Structure 1
Amino acid sequence: MAQQTATATFDENVIAPDTGKPMPKTETWRFMIGFIIFGVMWMMSGTIGSNVLFPERFNGLGIGQPEAILATMNSVGSVFALVSNLVFGALSDHCHSRFGKRTPFIVVGGFICGAAFWSTSVATTLPMIVASWCVLQIGLNCMLAPAVAVLSDRIPLNKRGTLSAFYGGGATAGQSVGTIIGTQFLSNPVPGFVIGTVSWLLTGILAIIIWPREKSAALADGEKKEELNLVSLLKMFVPPTKNCRNFYLALVGRLLLIFGYFCVNGYQLYILEKYIGLPVAEAGAVLSSMSVVIMVVSLISSLTSGAISDKIGARKPIIAVATLLIAVGIAAPWILKSVMGMYGFALLAGLGYGIYSSVDQALNVDVLPSKEEAGKDLGILNIANTIGQILGPIVTSSIVVATGSYFMAFPVAIVLVVVGFVFIALIKGVK
């Protein structure tokens, strides 16, 4: 009875949803380390292949234009990413494994990614390349959707921004680390592919080993397992329809923010070459330096901003600062058509995106209509991330084709980012 009374006096913001108790510091540190390693490893593994070694390998395959191969691989793969994120988020919500709801998916997803990554690296035909990459996207989202749902399942509200920041900062840093590692193996890619494969295999299992063990989700004796038929399966994937105003505002806001950022971020090399006017070798050197700048400022800003968000108990002011920095960063090369303008983009927009990434997932968890369907609903919110990264380059390329210049891509990107924040600002009940 005394224990019940003591527990009842705890502020609900400090209570871990899965245990009903405050989270000890040792567990907090284990989640921090696990989230940052998970973020770094999955993004690093993917970047080694898709951004560096695969494009270079496609140059020598002789099965078609390398750009077309890469575009086909990524565009078809993105469809599988969209669907599988939602599917595995929903399936993990209803999992009754003795190892927990999320753990089996996170571990298995890593193994699938490793096998598919290696298959992509040795494939010699377009169908096999695309098929292998699509399987990798299935494995990746088998990990991602349940891993992000851990923030809702197990992390107290007062630590959610910090943990979200460690995941977002890790993923941002992983992209730069993957680029740096991949470029070391351009002349001899096989060791690079081995590193990517092993990294994929270990990504999920390392996170699970580091995190505190998830409690069993097995049904208790006498508890009936829900019947699965076509109707119940379809209901598992229905988007939220009740108490979901904030959810959809966050969805649209996230989509537009990422959309605007990637209008420029996805075309940095071409902007350096065709807008600034640098030769290929010099553009590559500048891009490499920009990657380091983005990695450093994003990592520092994301880790500090997440802690600040938890300290002040608010997400919107942090996102407002991030929006301003991203918008000014995008404006830098628009106003200063020079290498310095692009470094301004790397510094300011990279800083802003790191700040935004620090509270992005925390905000998403805060607006969930149902904690019981966190995996599915976070999967829907994560679709905005994928679609934004796809639409950004498409819109920029359309502007270039229509106008013959990158000039108008910058103001369009700024408007998208600002309007994205407007939608987030309209969210009620979340500071």
Structure 2
Amino acid sequence: MSLHPPSIPESSTNPQPEALAPDDATPDHSVPDRVAPDLGAVPTRARMIRFGAGFLAFGLLWAVGLAMVANVLLPQRLTDIGVASPDAWFGTINSVTAVVSLVSNLVFGNLSDRIRSRFGRRTPWILGGALLGGASLFLVGTLGDPVAIMVMYCVTMVGLNMMLAPAVAVISDRVPLSMRGTMSAFFGAGATVGYPLGALIGASFITATLSGYTLAAILLAAAGVITLFAWPRERSAAHDAPRDAGTFKDLLLSFRPPRRAPDFYRAFAGRLFMLVSYQMIAAYQLYIVQNYVGQSVVESAATISTMSVITLVVGLVASLGAGPLSDKIGRRKAPVIVASLLFAVGVAMPWIFPSTTGMLLYAGIAGLGYGVYSSVDQALNVDVLPNQEEAGKDLGILNLATTLGQTLGPIITSSVVVITGSYLLIFPISITMAILGALSIVGIKSVR
């Protein structure tokens, strides 16, 4: 099976559906919420199954590969090579790479809107990012200097976001409105299961980190390649009308955020607060178990593994259930708000019970909340987009909230620990952030 779509002879930005996929769509304009934007027609069930499988594989594979490194192998590697204050170094690396992610997500989202390739707008970036991300993640595990590790990990983030930004835009490009919650659920389920599964697998490689990095690199690269095989081939964009004259000034101006779109920025704030809350705990869970709960390296590996299994199970159930339910009831806000509050309750557990039990309760309750959140939030973000033609760029801006959350969460945790010498205060701060995220979503007016 080829990754490359066939060339389309018609030169039109609004091609006839029959010219694109005569056996894969049913023209029916009486139900606009069921029409796929790229087809201009109602897609078949088989086509939607392929998209669902692709989004599930994509979210699962990249999340497993990255979580293996980010949650276990990287902090353990810093300890193994004997750097002073590995938790501070870990915070620094997370902060720098998050800034790189922030910029690259926006850049590649925008560029994927503008490219006019016979392979489509999104496909070249997804494939290129997969190869770059996988190769650089393997090299991270071969380095013994923290600065070199940080630089190579930045390259990994460039590759990852080269995949992520265009892939998320596919929901806007090719998925009908009535199915976006379900597709978001598949993507969210993959990532929700992938994070704890990655931590679980990473824990099993805690004494054999190079082998762990090799597996993580393969999974990250496979995320893009396998997904492109699973999805129906993207139509050629070679004959589409160019977005503008293509000058450097036009390119710079194209990065402008949307104006007069208050719900867009409310969604941005909701995601930012939630991701700060999530990353404050998730990025430091190994150190929390070791230094806050007081477990040894071997004990902490077992606890992380148990937490991962719990989160995997509840996250999978929540993710696969919440998205289709959101489509059925026609609502996005309520599931996201409830999920944010449920996550806050989960974070309170280790604050109230500073023990293994508290961490396991956190894994179950917060995992359930985050599973629902990740399932529906992406669909909410697509629904508040002010301009579908700029979906890659605007989703890139919304994804900046994720990157900023990934940046600020570890910084806040690291700063609090350095100042107070304890992890105790990070829990109430994380709870506050989750509640602020829920309040931001309450204010959205254009989406139910």
TM-score, scaled to structure 2: 0.88
Residue of 265, 269, 285 corresponding to 1:252: 269
Paired with 1:66 and 1:332, the residues of 2 have a C-alpha distance of 26
Residue of 252, 259, 270 corresponding to 1:241: 259
| Counterpart for residue 289 of structure 2 | 272
Paired with 2:423 and 2:66, the residues of 1 have a C-alpha distance of 28
Paired with 1:130 and 1:270, the residues of 2 have a C-alpha distance of 19
Paired with 1:319 and 1:224, the residues of 2 have a C-alpha distance of 37
- 1:18 maps to a residue whose letter is D
Shift of 1:227: 2.2
CA, structure 1 residues 131+208, in 2 after alignment: closer, same or farther (shift >3 Å)? same
Give yes or no for contact 1:161–1:306 (8 Å, CA) kept in 2: yes
Shift of 1:232: 0.3
| Counterpart for residue 4 of structure 2 | none
| Counterpart for residue 313 of structure 1 | 330
- 2:140 maps to a residue whose letter is T
Paired with 1:59 and 1:398, the residues of 2 have a C-alpha distance of 19
Paired with 1:275 and 1:56, the residues of 2 have a C-alpha distance of 17
Alignment of 1:5-404 (within 5 A): 7=27, 9-61=29-81, 66-67=86-87, 69-219=89-239, 226-242=244-260, 244-404=261-421
Shift of 1:402: 4.3
Paired with 1:48 and 1:110, the residues of 2 have a C-alpha distance of 17
CA, structure 1 residues 224+400, in 2 after alignment: closer, same or farther (shift >3 Å)? closer
Q: CA RMSD of the aligned region, Å?
A: 2.3
Shift of 1:332: 2.2
Paired with 1:253 and 1:24, the residues of 2 have a C-alpha distance of 34
Give yes or no for contact 2:133–2:159 (8 Å, CA) kept in 1: yes
Paired with 2:295 and 2:82, the residues of 1 have a C-alpha distance of 28
CA, structure 1 residues 130+28, in 2 after alignment: closer, same or farther (shift >3 Å)? same
Give yes or no for contact 2:91–2:411 (8 Å, CA) kept in 1: no
| Counterpart for residue 410 of structure 1 | 427
Paired with 1:266 and 1:383, the residues of 2 have a C-alpha distance of 18
- 1:166 maps to a residue whose letter is F
Shift of 1:67: 4.1
| Secondary structure, counterpart of 1:122 in structure 2 | coil
Shift of 1:427: 0.6
Shift of 1:118: 2.3
Structure 1 residues 361-370 or 56-65, which shifts more? 56-65
Give yes or no for contact 2:171–2:382 (8 Å, CA) kept in 1: yes
TM-score, scaled to structure 1: 0.92
- 2:338 maps to a residue whose letter is V
Query: Residues 331-388 of structure 1, C-alpha deviation per residue, up to 9 Å, x if partnerless?
Result: 2233334332222211111100000000111000000011111001101111111211
Unaligned runs of 5+ in 2: 1-17, 19-25
Unaligned runs of 5+ in 1: none
Percent identical pairs in the alignment equals: 47
| Counterpart for residue 15 of structure 2 | none
| Secondary structure, counterpart of 2:42 in structure 1 | coil
CA, structure 1 residues 401+131, in 2 after alignment: closer, same or farther (shift >3 Å)? closer
CA, structure 1 residues 48+257, in 2 after alignment: closer, same or farther (shift >3 Å)? closer
Shift of 1:196: 2.3
Paired with 1:123 and 1:306, the residues of 2 have a C-alpha distance of 41
